[in-house]
Amino acid sequence: MGKILKELSYTPGQIDKGYNNRTLYVNVADNTIKEKPVGDKMKSTFTGGKGFDLWLLWNAVNSNTKWNSPENEICIAAGPLGGTPIYPGAGKSIAVTISPLTGIPIDSNVGGHFGPMLKYAGFDAIEVQGIAEKEVVIFIDGPNHKITIEEVEGLPEDAYSICEELTEKYSKEDPAKISIVCSGTAAKYSKMGILNFSYWDRVRKVIHLKQAGRGGVGTVFSHKNIKAIVATVDKMNIDLLNPADKEGLQAVGRAHSKEIRDLDPKQNEMAVLGTTHLVDIMNDYDLLPTNNYKFGAHPKYKKMDRDAYRTLFHKGFDGCWVGCSVACAHCVMDFELTSGPQKGQKLHVDGPEYETIAGCGSNCGIFDAEHVIEMNFYCDTYGVDTISVGTATAFLMECYENGLITKEHTGGMDLSFGNKESALELLHQMARGEGMGHILGQGIRYMKGHFEKEFGADRKFMEDIGMEAKGLEYSEYMTKESLAQQGGYGMALKGPQHDEAWLIFLDMVHNFMPTFEQKAEALHWFPNFRTWFALNGLCKLPWNDIVPTDNKETAEPAKVIKHVQWYADFFQAVTGVPTTPETIISTSEKVYNFQRIFNLKMGHGKRVDDAVPYRSVGPVTVEEYESRVERYDGQLKEKHGVDPAGKSSEEKVAILRKFREEQYEGLIDAVYKRRGWTTDGVPTVEKAKELGIDFPDVIELLEKNQ
Amino acid sequence: MSITINDEEMSWNQGMTVRQMLDAMPGQLHMVVVRVNGKMVSRHDWDTATVPDGAKVEVVDIIAGG
């Protein structure tokens, strides 16, 4: 390791009702380290977590800032509830930056212990600015109240190795007292780089990694020449949080934990299977993306379903937060790699989640549980996003099968759907910055332009099948039969990620929202409620992946209102702020609208930016139409009054497309109206004033765009 | 002759299909997943798949995902 570039001793903090009331600023270009105060206005407006990140970033960048500009920042925060040991799912961190894929703020919610440790070390958030001359490690030494920027040489490139070496260096005696944030070698060469957040498994004595995966936050990190950010603490416990109502906090935390322990074994077995249980369900409902979202099911799905992973996952507790009873993070021991630089090695690898199974599996036409595990391992250790890698590879495969690219362009690789060796090789190329894998790593939006310009590929077809919006690759659900979810993805602030809105079952399966207005109401409540998790350092899984037995008898089962009330009680017990299910929504609405306005500041955030590829709305090709001909013919006849008899499939594709595109525009109108935005998707000045986010520069920006 | 659904006992008839079992359950159901003795029954088979005597059935409201 190299020399210390800067060292700062700081006054020990004391958490008061969830807050340290200060954040940490580090500039790796000029080696500035300083504290910034957190005032009441900042807390009441932005809450914490993603809200704090966005506010810090807003004040750091200007409208010309690009992802690789020195003033762009990586901001990481836990939130006032993050780091509460007694509550399930309360160990999350939220990372925010200007994304290399979208040019607007990206937020990514991640497990691992860094955010909580940063908080126990004395800071509500960290913002890192500048580009270091040489690779550095930022070390937040909680027990000794010291922060250093250290120049490093000779650290490994890949995430697991970096974390092992730094754990040995900084916390050898007790590896549970350290958490490391790092990326990996592919983040250098791609725009879909991730941040890995580590935590220690006391039983297996291995390091686990969780990922802030979306939008290329690891690419920014790597470009800043940051090798790692490290935090250490002596202990994390409820007394150190100084909650306003300790007994109340313990009561609600125990109630939620107990319910999960009682019901999870009877519901989805998250503690045994994680989110892999979704594979069977999505396939059954024609929602499992297959062959670049052409289809929603495949007969071979059982080769990578819940039972396949049941046999592969190592038994034992696998929570990414202290005592979390959902415990959905799983792993495979002694897994033998079949490719790449670690071929033949038997390693502990973290288990894939549903998104990775669907993205790197079915969406690429690959049905092989062990292949997905290997893709997951290499994506993590190389530092790239399994969702973007999966969706972009699926796009590439469809381009190949349609002759838009050939072996001449792929260096001889056969990129047909189902070719798992090629999928792995693309990933290894990405890590070396070579060949088609390097192009893949720039994302679908880049590939569309590149293939048109360099290979003369059909741009219109690529616009239809390239599953990106705002520049971000879609996560892994079929939306063709759910208009509400088309909007949920299309109008998601950061791009099409399911953590903002997931309405498919309500809309498509249960038909709870038959009108535009009902869909718009759902696209108000759910994104705001889900945003609240990111403001507070929480995981959303305990909210609605395990539900009370009497939930179906409540007025609105989809909201799981019993749990919403528990979250209100949780927030009030920690912060002392009177909280109800209604104030949760009004609190989130401030940050939700602020993020939309932030998009506007960066030159986006208008109606044109909420456009979606037609593949997400309906069948692009005759092959897709004919695969579900009964459904589509029926819809033409019953829903749109068009008799399909005597019409060619090409004609029917075109007619259906016209109807569906009109519906999407109608939905946008209804949602903007409900949200208090103009018809161009801009929050009104009145809305900003109502929400208390009427800062002078916000009003100036809005007035120019009303 | 009975089955258990989510730990509650329910009477059973010879040849009872999954659909008949669901129709006999009280309250409005929003479920999308039915597991009989640990195995998921596809919704496409609810009209034909039968529930054996003594079966342990889980009917799970899936409102999550994502």
- pLDDT tens-place string over residues A367-397: 999 999 999 999 999 999 999 999 999 999 9
% of chain A exceeding 90 in pLDDT: 93
Q: Give me the half-sphere count of Cα atoms (radius 13 Å) on the Cβ side of residue A205.
A: 4
- Residues from chain B contacting residue A272 (CB–CB below 8 Å): none
The pLDDT value recorded for residue A510 is 66
**Residue whose C-alpha is closest to residue A143's, from A241, A230, A233:** A233
pLDDT (mean) for B41-53: 94
Mean pLDDT of chain A: 96
Q: What sign results for the dihedral spanned by CA atoms A162, A221, A345, A278? A: positive
Q: Give me the half-sphere count of Cα atoms (radius 13 Å) on the Cβ side of residue A554.
A: 15
What tens digit of pLDDT does each residue of A314-346 get? 998 888 998 899 999 999 999 999 999 999 999
Q: Are the CB atoms for A406 and A436 separated by under 8 Å?
A: no
Segment among A279-283, A470-474, A568-572, B22-26 with least mean pLDDT? B22-26
Interchain CB contact of A553 with B (< 8 Å)? yes
Question: What's the Cα-to-Cα distance from A179 to each of A32, A121, A123, A222, A384, rounded to whole Å?
Answer: 23, 12, 15, 18, 19
**Cα A392 to Cα A363: distance, rounded to the nearest angstrom:** 10
The pLDDT value recorded for residue A502 is 86
Quick check: B63 and A506 CB within 8 A? yes
Q: B1 versus A281: which is more confidently predicted? A: A281
Q: Are the CB atoms for B34 and B57 separated by under 8 Å?
A: yes
How many residues in total does chain A contain? 706
A–B CB contacts, 8 A cutoff, strictly below: 63
**Residue whose C-alpha is closest to residue A18's, from A538, A623, A526, A562:** A538
> Rounded to a whole number, what is the distance in Å from the CA of B51 to chain A's nearest CA?
18
pLDDT (mean) for B37-59: 92
Spans of all domains in chain B: 2-60
Q: Which residues pair with A151 in a beta bridge?
A: A136
pLDDT of A267 over the 90 cut: no
For chain B, give me the number of helices (H) and strands (E)? 1, 5
3-state secondary structure of A110: strand
Q: What sign results for the dihedral spanned by CA atoms A284, A287, A291, A294? A: positive
Question: Which residue, chain included where needed, has tokens 């946008």?
Answer: A668
Q: Are the CB atoms for A349 and A117 separated by under 8 Å?
A: no
> Rounded to a whole number, what is the distance in Å from the CA of A328 to chain B's nearest CA?
14
Q: Which residues pair with A37 in a beta bridge?
A: A22
| Helix or strand holding residue A171 (H, E) | helix A159-171
Quick check: A266 and B30 CB within 8 A? no
Interchain CB contact of A282 with B (< 8 Å)? yes
Residue A299, token pair as written in the block: 């007969």
The pLDDT value recorded for residue A41 is 97
Residue A494, token pair as written in the block: 């950061």
pLDDT of B32 over the 90 cut: no
Quick check: B33 and A281 CB within 8 A? yes
Strands A125-129 and A22-27: parallel
Looking at domain B2-60, its CATH architecture is Roll (3.10)
Q: Are the CB atoms for A186 and A384 separated by under 8 Å?
A: yes
Q: Are the CB atoms for A235 and A553 separated by under 8 Å?
A: no
**Cα A61 to Cα A239: distance, rounded to the nearest angstrom:** 37
pLDDT of A404 over the 90 cut: yes
Residue in B58, B61, B66 closest to A499 by CB: B66
pLDDT of B62 over the 90 cut: no
pLDDT (mean) for A40-68: 98
The pLDDT value recorded for residue B38 is 86
**Residue whose C-alpha is closest to residue A49's, from A23, A26, A76, A74:** A76
Q: How confident is the model at residue B31 (pLDDT cuts 50, 70, 90)?
A: low
**Cα A125 to Cα A93: distance, rounded to the nearest angstrom:** 9
What tens digit of pLDDT does each residue of A571-593 get? 999 999 999 999 999 999 999 99
What tens digit of pLDDT does each residue of A192-220 get? 999 999 999 999 999 999 999 999 999 99
What tens digit of pLDDT does each residue of A637-654 get? 999 999 999 999 999 999
**Cα A71 to Cα A515: distance, rounded to the nearest angstrom:** 45
Strands A32-37 and A22-27: antiparallel
**Residue whose C-alpha is closest to residue A280's, from B61, B44, B41, B6:** B41
pLDDT (mean) for A39-62: 98
What tens digit of pLDDT does each residue of A485-520 get? 999 999 999 999 998 888 888 777 667 788 999 999
**Residue whose C-alpha is closest to residue A283's, from A367, A203, A204:** A367
**Cα A458 to Cα A39: distance, rounded to the nearest angstrom:** 54
Q: Which residues pair with A137 in a beta bridge?
A: A150, A228
How many other C-beta atoms lie within 10 A of the C-beta of residue A626?
A: 13
What tens digit of pLDDT does each residue of A74-102 get? 999 999 999 999 999 999 999 999 999 99
> Rounded to a whole number, what is the distance in Å from the CA of B42 to chain A's nearest CA?
6
pLDDT (mean) for A623-641: 96
Q: For A576-648, where are the alpha helices, taking DSSP H only? A: 581-601, 622-627, 629-638
Q: Are the CB atoms for A28 and A12 separated by under 8 Å?
A: no
Phi/psi-derived region of residue B50, left when phi > 0, alpha when psi is between -120 and 50, beta in every other case: beta
Interchain CB contact of A552 with B (< 8 Å)? yes
Q: Are the CB atoms for A372 and A300 separated by under 8 Å?
A: no
Interchain CB contact of A547 with B (< 8 Å)? yes
Provide the Cα torsion A55, A56, A59, A64; round to 10°. Answer: -100
Quick check: B65 and A552 CB within 8 A? no
The pLDDT value recorded for residue A655 is 98
ipTM of the complex: 0.86
Side by side, the strands of the sheet bearing B2-5 are B8-11, B2-5, B56-60, B33-36, B39-40
**Cα B24 to Cα B37: distance, rounded to the nearest angstrom:** 19
The pLDDT value recorded for residue A706 is 94
- Residues from chain A contacting residue B6 (CB–CB below 8 Å): 266, 549
DSSP string, A483-517: HHHHHHHHT-TTSS-TTT---HIIIIIS----SHH
Q: How confident is the model at residue B6 (pLDDT cuts 50, 70, 90)?
A: confident
Q: Which residue of B has its CA nearest to A353?
A: B66
Strands A105-110 and A93-98: antiparallel
Q: Are the CB atoms for B53 and B3 separated by under 8 Å?
A: yes
> Rounded to a whole number, what is the distance in Å from the CA of B58 to chain A's nearest CA?
7
Residue in B33, B63, B65 closest to A557 by CB: B63
Q: A550 versus A454: which is more confidently predicted? A: A454
Domains with residue ranges and CATH for chain A: 4-235 (3.60.9.10), 267-473 (1.10.569.10), 483-546+580-704 (1.10.599.10)
Phi/psi-derived region of residue A302, left when phi > 0, alpha when psi is between -120 and 50, beta in every other case: alpha
Q: Which of residues 86-105 of A touch B (CB under 8 A)?
A: none
Mean pLDDT of chain B: 86
- Residues from chain A contacting residue B33 (CB–CB below 8 Å): 281
pLDDT of B61 over the 80 cut: no
pLDDT of A179 over the 80 cut: yes
pLDDT of A65 over the 70 cut: yes
- Residues from chain A contacting residue B31 (CB–CB below 8 Å): 552
> Rounded to a whole number, what is the distance in Å from the CA of A385 to chain B's nearest CA?
17
